A = this chain, B = another copy of it.
Amino acid sequence: MILTDHAALATQLQAYILEHIPLARAMELRVARHEGAELELAAPLAPNINDKGCAFGGSMASLMTLAGWGLVELALRARGIECDIYVGDSTVRYREPLFGELRAIARFAAADALEVFLKTLAARGRARIQVVCTIAGETQDAATLEAAFVAKTC
């Protein structure tokens, strides 16, 4: 069974992240939107600012990493699968300075990625999935992340 109450799952995820990851509390992270195939996390600029008055690269990388991790976490929770999910290799591109709220949108990198991931996880107790994430800027993406996440059955 797939639990499709995305709003309830998103609320639970936000509470879980804020309880267990102190840096997410410091960032004032919130789950802005969840639609199964996409997860959007947001954070205000003030706690994530740098010395040049724009978003700190580490905050953007952290928010995008959490969005990717959260997307995988929610896909598994919706199916009642308990796993530890770890971030693997990541590439972050910083394209332009961001002088407003940080909004990171994570998606699976391929249309069939989730299906393959779930089958592998069921068969082997361990699987890897590729996620892409973007933070919108004024004229283009302010930053992008491509990352692998590894799930292991608890």
A interface with B by C-beta (< 8 Å): 16-17, 20-23, 26-27, 46-52, 56-59, 61-63, 65-66, 69, 84, 86-94, 97
Q: From A27, A49, A65, A93, name the one whose CB has the most chain B CB atoms within 10 angstroms.
A: A65
Smallest CB–CB gap between A31 and chain B, Å?
15
Q: In the complex where A58-B58, A61-B61 touch, is A91 in contact with B89 (Cβ < 8 A)?
A: yes
How many copies of this chain does one complex carry? 2
Task: Specify the chain B residue showing the minimal Cβ separation from A62.
Answer: B58
> Residue A49 contacts which of B21, B52, B90 (CB distance < 8 angstroms)?
B21
Q: In the complex where A57-B65, A61-B58, A91-B91 touch, is A51 in contact with B86 (Cβ < 8 A)?
A: no
> Residue A21 contacts which of B22, B56, B89, B90 (CB distance < 8 angstroms)?
B56
Question: Is the beta-carbon distance between A21 and B51 smaller than 8 angstroms?
Answer: yes
Bound state CA distance, A63 and B50, in angstroms?
14
> Residue A57 contacts which of B20, B27, B87, B94 (CB distance < 8 angstroms)?
B87
- A sample of 10 more A-B contacts (CB under 8 A), given A23-B56, A87-B94, is A20-B51, A21-B50, A21-B56, A22-B48, A26-B27, A26-B47, A58-B61, A61-B92, A62-B62, A91-B91
Bound state CA distance, A56 and B66, in angstroms?
10
Question: Residues of B contacting A65 with CB < 8 Å?
Answer: 57-58, 61
